[in-house]
Amino acid sequence: MLFRNPPPLPAAPDQTASSPLGRLLLLIILLSALLAPKGEAADTLIYFGQGGQQTVSGSLHVLENGSGLYLIDVGSFVGGDGPNHPWPEEIPVARIRALFITHIHADHIGRLPLLLHQGYRGPIYLSRVSYELARVTLPANLHLIDLGPERFYYSRNNAGRKRIPVYLEGYDFAERTVKPENRVYFTGHRHRLATQGYYLARPQRQKLETELLARLDEQAIISDPDQPFRVDEFKVRFLTTPHMAGSVMVELQFRGLRILFAGDTGANGSPLLPDNPGFPEPIDLLFLEGTYGRDREFDLAAARTNFRRELAARLAEGYRVVIPAFALDRSQQIIQEIGRAVADGELPPDQVIRVCSPTARELLHRYADFVGREEFAPYFRPEVSKSQFLPPGYLPDCSSNDPDNPLGLQHGEIGVMTSGMADYASARQALLDYLEDPKTLFYFVSYQSPASLGGRLTAGPKPPAELRIGAYRRQVKAKILQTSGFSGHASPREMIEIFTAARPRRIYLVHLDPRNATSLTSRYQRAFQAEIIIPRRNERHQLHP
């Protein structure tokens, strides 16, 4: 499976014009050629983007030449960064020749279901680990995707229930499920169903998941790091970067021009992922992220050492430890760090670690499974072991019959909980249950947006005395800590170290927090002696000739 060439472009129609019908056909062809979206001359290469231009989220970069369009990432916007629906009309789906995915964070792959929904049937190039992880995370998030207004129906018999199972028009789930005469139709948005008291019925979800996985299997082309491949006129190569498991940079060569989309670039020294490449050959054009504008006070290794020490000290004092973490990658990296602490004797061998998210648990087992398999070797450090992900005290269970402690997390135990900013799922429940307990430690391990629950707890030098959680209020008696030891993004100083050998002559700053634009421009101009460009959304930049 998974090794195919891009689909051939439709063949040019026969242009013989001897008959009146032939002449009419010729006229139609000429007219449609005039009206068709303008293509580029064969040696011209244009860049434009539809996400990640002066925003951190929504990464969607396009290279255009005479053959068509080549996409690097197809991410979702977050917050007010941009619209996730409709599909941008500047990117006609029929002209897309290939899609390259740097990694599977939602802000890099979240609009893939929309692109497939729009009829894209071309190749999706991604790393082996990205492919395996996407098979778990894409189906798990299908109900959160914005595909625009869709027609749903539910059974009249369920009207008035607190949560009503719904089905999509066009899917007939045997008439016994919802008889046609009992169906109540309405138009809605899939990602808003939950807030309106609906949910996708289980058979409907399964059907959508199966369809999506079949698409992915059909269109995915696995590309391992450092294995060049050809896509039309491009010579392409993936290079690993320690941002998250499976994350890669995409290098494209076009007529002697070497372009690197660095994607999200991690700092060297991760205990899980190999370091960035060395760039023995120069890069002409570098598309670089500008998520962070300032250097870190501690390097990652020192911050992780502190994390382990703090954890061990509090657990020894009988604290219960809650670690809110994103289900994808961050949870697994946290558990690996705890697993290493157990192996090194910093934590007791039977230290209980509960993982309170089904998706995080499933991914944890995938990570453990990758380790030691030869085809996954290029993606992980050789010293990573299975037992780091599944230490002896790991418990896949997070519930109890105690009405005062539904999560069941006891003092002396660690619970890794979704979500990373504690806004929903078990992490939010933990705030409700444990925030007033002085013997609980909440350890935040990622960036916290100021409006999130985690953001409100970690914003000041001291946590607030009280926290509002939806309709509830809780006094903040628990201990609150935060670490930057798990950051997946290199700081500007680290970026300079990573890319100095690449000697880029022009840098396009994308995935950019606009507040960093001025400082990063002057810093990188000095460090790289390069021209710095900050593209706007949909602004066209000629890269070649």
Binding region for Zn ion (CB under 5 A):
105, 264
**Pairwise CA distance, residues 344 & 96, whole Å:** 50
Report phi then psi at 359, rounded to 5.
-65, -45
CB of 208 to Zn ion, least distance (A): 25
Q: Other CB atoms closer than 10 Å to residue 73's CB: what's the count?
A: 31
Helix, strand, or coil (residue 245): coil
| C-beta of residue 474 within 8 angstroms of C-beta of residue 467 | yes
Q: Of 264 and 494, which CB lies nearer to Zn ion in the complex structure?
A: 264
Q: Of 105 and 135, which CB lies nearer to Zn ion in the complex structure?
A: 105
Q: Of 155 and 452, which CB lies nearer to Zn ion in the complex structure?
A: 452
CB of 64 to Zn ion, least distance (A): 25
CB of 264 to Zn ion, least distance (A): 4
Q: Of 242 and 454, which CB lies nearer to Zn ion in the complex structure?
A: 242
**Pairwise CA distance, residues 1 & 216, whole Å:** 11
Q: 404-432 burial by CB neighbour count: b if 16+ within 10 A, else e?
A: eeebbbeebbbbbbbbbbbbebbbbbbbe
Handedness of CA 355, 333, 139, 324 (dihedral sign): positive
CB of 126 to Zn ion, least distance (A): 14
CB of 59 to Zn ion, least distance (A): 8
The two structure tokens encoding residue 486: 């798990």
**CA–centroid distance for 529 within its chain:** 32
**Pairwise CA distance, residues 134 & 109, whole Å:** 9
Q: Could you tell me which residues come within 8 angstroms of residue 195 by beta carbon, excluding any fewer than 6 positions away?
A: none
Q: Of 105 and 296, which CB lies nearer to Zn ion in the complex structure?
A: 105
User: How large is the angle between the packed helices 330-343 and 358-370, nearest 10 degrees?
Assistant: 60
Strands (E), 146-219: 149-155, 164-168, 183-189, 198-200
Q: Of 100 and 442, which CB lies nearer to Zn ion in the complex structure?
A: 100
CB of 107 to Zn ion, least distance (A): 6
**Pairwise CA distance, residues 322 & 443, whole Å:** 6
Q: Of 435 and 509, which CB lies nearer to Zn ion in the complex structure?
A: 509
Q: Of 264 and 433, which CB lies nearer to Zn ion in the complex structure?
A: 264
Kindly state the helix (H) or strand (E) to which residue 362 belongs, with its residue range.
helix 358-370
Q: Of 71 and 476, which CB lies nearer to Zn ion in the complex structure?
A: 71
CB of 110 to Zn ion, least distance (A): 11
CB of 90 to Zn ion, least distance (A): 24
Q: Of 264 and 337, which CB lies nearer to Zn ion in the complex structure?
A: 264
Q: Of 40 and 264, which CB lies nearer to Zn ion in the complex structure?
A: 264
The two structure tokens encoding residue 98: 């290939």
Helix, strand, or coil (residue 406): coil
CB of 441 to Zn ion, least distance (A): 27
Hey, what amino acid is at 310?
E
User: How large is the angle between the packed helices 492-499 and 517-528, nearest 10 degrees?
Assistant: 30
Kindly state the helix (H) or strand (E) to which residue 64 belongs, with its residue range.
strand 61-65
Handedness of CA 289, 292, 295, 296 (dihedral sign): negative
Q: Other CB atoms closer than 10 Å to residue 5's CB: what's the count?
A: 10
